[in-house]
Structure 1
Amino acid sequence: MPTLPEAFLKAPIAHRALHDDNIARAENNIAAIDAAIARGFGIEIDLQLSSDGVAMVFHDYALNRLTEGHGAFALQSSEALSTLRFKTGEVGVPTLKQVLDHVAGRVPLLIEVKDQDGAMGPSVGTLEVAAAKVLEGYDGPVALMSFNPHSVAVLAELCPHLPRGITTANWEDEGAKLIPADRRETLGLIEDYDRVGASFISHQWSNLDAPRVAELKEAGAHILCWTIRNPEDEAEARKIAENITFEGYLPT
Structure 2
Amino acid sequence: MDRTPQMEWLSTSLYAHRGLHDLAKGVPENSRAAFDAAAEAGYGIELDTRLSADGEPVVFHDRTLDALTDNTGPVAALTAEELGRCHLLETAETIPRLQDALQVVAGRAPVLIEIKSHIQSIGLLEQAVRDVIDAYDGPCAILSFNPYSVRWFCKFAAHIPRGRTIIGLISTSGGMPIWRRLLLRSSAAMVRCDPHFYAYDLPALRRGRNRVPVIAWTVRSSHEQGIAQRRANSFIFENMKP
- TM normalised by structure 1 equals 0.86
The reply to whether residue 47 of structure 1 matches residue 21 of structure 2 is no
Q: Give the Å deviation of 1:172.
A: 4.3
> 1:55, 1:131 within 8 Å by CA — same for their partners in 2?
yes
Q: How has the CA–CA distance of structure 1 residues 192 and 34 changed in structure 2, closer, same or farther, with 3 Å as cutoff? A: farther
Q: Give the Å deviation of 1:3.
A: 4.7
Q: Give the Å deviation of 1:104.
A: 1.6
What's the CA shift string for 1:125-175, capped at 9, x where partnerless?
111111111111322111111000100111223321111010111144572
Query: AA paired with 1:228?
Result: V
The reply to whether residue 147 of structure 1 matches residue 138 of structure 2 is no
The match for 2:186 is 186
> 2:56, 2:128 within 8 Å by CA — same for their partners in 1?
yes
The match for 2:132 is 134
What's the CA shift string for 1:2-48, capped at 9, x where partnerless?
25622221231000010115761111111101110111000001101
Query: AA paired with 1:68?
Result: D
> 1:4, 1:143 within 8 Å by CA — same for their partners in 2?
no
> 1:132, 1:158 within 8 Å by CA — same for their partners in 2?
no
The reply to whether residue 61 of structure 1 matches residue 63 of structure 2 is yes
Distance 1:233 1:19 in 2: 19
> 1:4, 1:199 within 8 Å by CA — same for their partners in 2?
no
Q: Give the Å deviation of 1:180.
A: 8.0
Report the count of equivalent residues: 237
Q: Give the Å deviation of 1:203.
A: 0.4
Q: How has the CA–CA distance of structure 1 residues 191 and 23 changed in structure 2, closer, same or farther, with 3 Å as cutoff? A: farther
> 1:223, 1:242 within 8 Å by CA — same for their partners in 2?
yes
Describe the SS at the equivalent of 1:191: helix
Distance 1:3 1:224 in 2: 17
Query: AA paired with 1:243?
Result: S
The match for 1:27 is 29
Q: How has the CA–CA distance of structure 1 residues 185 and 38 changed in structure 2, closer, same or farther, with 3 Å as cutoff? A: closer
Query: AA paired with 1:175?
Result: M
Query: AA paired with 1:206?
Result: P
Distance 1:17 1:126 in 2: 25
Q: CA RMSD in A?
A: 2.1
Task: Report which stretch shifted further, 19-28 or 241-250.
Answer: 19-28
Describe the SS at the equivalent of 2:50: strand
Distance 2:169 2:71 in 1: 30
Q: Give the Å deviation of 1:191.
A: 2.8
- TM normalised by structure 2 equals 0.90
> 2:28, 2:93 within 8 Å by CA — same for their partners in 1?
no
Q: 2:84 aligns with which of 82, 100, 108?
A: 82
Q: How has the CA–CA distance of structure 1 residues 22 and 177 changed in structure 2, closer, same or farther, with 3 Å as cutoff? A: farther
Q: Which ranges of 4 or more aligned residues in structure 1 deviate by more than 4 Å?
A: none
